[in-house]
Structure 1
């Protein structure tokens, strides 16, 4: 495999691994430092809005500069933000205010970093000559490995290292991810405009607003992109509701809290299998049939989770959700490569990622309210029903009935 593809995949893996470690370690460090569970919630909530805004407005930046440059820059921002915490801890000691401040700064690198790396993917496909299905499938498989290894790695590091020192590891992964991305030739990251979608030019606030409006118009004006965005947000909402609330409550009430980790492992292993399968056979499978099969598989998987029956049933449901999602995410990523114009990619993906960023707290809140006032079984059933509705709506959507390759801009149009 060409060096540019290997570098991209390695960078993606390290960045996601660092995020997975930080997702477990940071709340624990906040709790250890402040002694307050509310403080951990405040830190998480304070970064939500900045993350959404950063995802939207940084899409404009991603569309103005070299794709490789934007990916490297966002990784460096993430590395600096995380590294600031152990530095402050050593110099003056950490307080809630520091956690919030650094969290807000870090949000300028996290969601934009996701957007920049996704925007770079088509350039890597073109430059490396590796089939999009293979590259995307390998990326999904590596993402599953990172999510499988990251939490265990965080738990081990928290027992070996002291407090915020763990965050040096996550900062190092982001820094190394940036260094690996530099192995992708700069020429590969050059934005290639076409006649219908010229390259955006630099300018003041008015130009930024116009470019942001163009990106949002491209997203909302495309029935295909709307359907994919809603489907992605629904998937994150439902999965987060199960992972962060329904399953922990279920296993805790059943006095089997130690089994929760096995559910998350089953989910990650399933995603690894699904991503690997897409890398191997994705290009040979009929797209419409694959879409229907993966939506059906995730629906059955969520239904099994919602039964909250014997642990093995829950494990099987988690594996099915992971495997079907690995295939589905690979397919959707390839479709987005083909259907989003190059010069609009950062803004469209930024808006999509902003929507997905909002979904997790909504899923947790919905599940928490229903669990509190009705019961955990009702919350599980509601989440599974939300996904079933989203899956059925996707299958019925006209833009997703014809999924053959396009010349690159699909049905996405922006008025001049």
Structure 2
């Protein structure tokens, strides 16, 4: 069943990797605005902030299979609307932002259900290995997908890329519908019939009651603030700082270079968590993220830009993966959806603010200054991490026994 799940995710991730380049590229080509590029990145993160709490509680009451397939179909319809509009030459910036918002809302539901799906498929002892395996597949696709997306967008146009993405969502949904083990509800007791508000509060209370989950979640805010700035300005920096054309396939290569860092992190995280204190992993990841962003802000060549993006992504992905695996390992099955969506909602809370603020700074001052501020945020978060009791927490195997 894990293999089918990985195939479904891999196919969808392939389409997402292409769209990750094509959608912001189409918006920047239409407007030339760094602020709007930052707005798109912000809009794509906002749904988690608004919907994370109620969706996490709701999904714990629903069949994971129905939630996963339904959200995939909705995403397919949203992305397919762009090539349909392109036929009539009716693609607008507002339409592109709306597509980003719709797929992001669907992702909140999908993500909440997926947190319960992994333990259901592999059991609690297999969570770390399955998560690392999924990240490996995701990042391998992330390495090849963006350059391919940039090439397709440059040769046939962005709408063709989004049509491929829509098809990938539909195929992924078909595969997910075959995983029977995901039919049951995560909650089987009377709690599932309780009030939605009670379910939300239960998830919040659990996060607050487990210090290491609470601290890693809060530190994620600083990580997402800095990461939002980098993501929101990647195309803008490539054009204004490195001098690339907006239709250059090299922009896709920059996205792919970032994915190389995520791949390295997915390979390292298991070894790190077995040998190194949990809090130290997060602090070190934040320092590396800060150094990578600072390097990207002053990169004077394409090669150096790729290298600094790899370093940034290793750091920021390590921070994220460390928090996710610790939460999934320590959280009871009936709380997986609401605890993980609530925690991610909090941890991702800085992303829209970071993306939006960085876009405005890039338009009013310059791109390099905006990125240097983001690097300072990551470094400050690392310093805070070193002062918390979590910094001295043991490696994951000791935590989970």
TM-score of the pair, normalised by structure 2: 0.80
Q: Matched residues in 2 for 1:80 and 1:374: separation?
A: 38
Does 1:158 find its partner at 2:153?
Answer: yes
Q: Is the 8 A contact 2:147 2:252 kept in 1?
A: no
Does 1:233 find its partner at 2:221?
Answer: yes
Q: Is the 8 A contact 2:145 2:256 kept in 1?
A: no
Alignment correspondent of 2:17: 20
Between structure 1 and structure 2, the one with the greater Rg is 1
Identify which of 4, 7, 10 aligns with 2:4: 7
Alignment correspondent of 2:164: 169
Q: Matched residues in 2 for 1:245 and 1:46: separation?
A: 14
| Structure 1, 390-399 or 320-329: larger mean CA deviation | 320-329
Alignment correspondent of 2:370: 379
Residues 307/282 of structure 1: CA separation in 2 closer, same or farther (3 Å cut): same
Q: Matched residues in 2 for 1:29 and 1:384: separation?
A: 27
How far is 1:170 from its partner?
0.9
Residues 378/43 of structure 1: CA separation in 2 closer, same or farther (3 Å cut): closer
Q: Matched residues in 2 for 1:365 and 1:81: separation?
A: 23
Q: Matched residues in 2 for 1:273 and 1:21: separation?
A: 21
| Structure 1, 96-105 or 324-333: larger mean CA deviation | 96-105
Q: Is the 8 A contact 1:66 1:186 kept in 2?
A: no
Identify which of 266, 276, 295 aligns with 1:286: 276
Q: Matched residues in 2 for 1:23 and 1:301: separation?
A: 21
Alpha-carbon displacement from aligned partner over 1:344-396 (angstroms, at most 9, x marks no partner): 22122222333455533311333344445555443333211110111222233
Does 1:305 find its partner at 2:296?
Answer: yes
SS of residue paired to 1:65: coil
Alpha-carbon displacement from aligned partner over 1:104-145 (angstroms, at most 9, x marks no partner): 543431222122223322222318x7x333222222222222
Alignment correspondent of 2:76: 79
Does 1:132 find its partner at 2:127?
Answer: yes
How far is 1:14 from its partner?
2.5
Alignment correspondent of 2:307: 316
Q: Matched residues in 2 for 1:254 and 1:90: separation?
A: 33
Q: Matched residues in 2 for 1:53 and 1:316: separation?
A: 35
Q: Is the 8 A contact 1:55 1:354 kept in 2?
A: yes
Q: Is the 8 A contact 2:68 2:114 kept in 1?
A: yes
Alignment correspondent of 1:414: none
Q: Is the 8 A contact 2:293 2:372 kept in 1?
A: no
Matches within 5 A, 1:143-222: 143-159=138-154, 161=156, 164-186=159-181, 190-191=185-186, 200-202=191-193, 207-222=195-210
Alignment correspondent of 1:141: 136
Does 1:271 find its partner at 2:240?
Answer: no
RMSD: 3.8
TM-score of the pair, normalised by structure 1: 0.77
Gaps of 5+ in 2: none
Residues 283/124 of structure 1: CA separation in 2 closer, same or farther (3 Å cut): farther
Alignment correspondent of 2:340: 349
Residues 272/370 of structure 1: CA separation in 2 closer, same or farther (3 Å cut): same
Residues 202/382 of structure 1: CA separation in 2 closer, same or farther (3 Å cut): same
Gaps of 5+ in 1: 411-416
> Across the two proteins, how many residue pairs are aligned to each other?
394
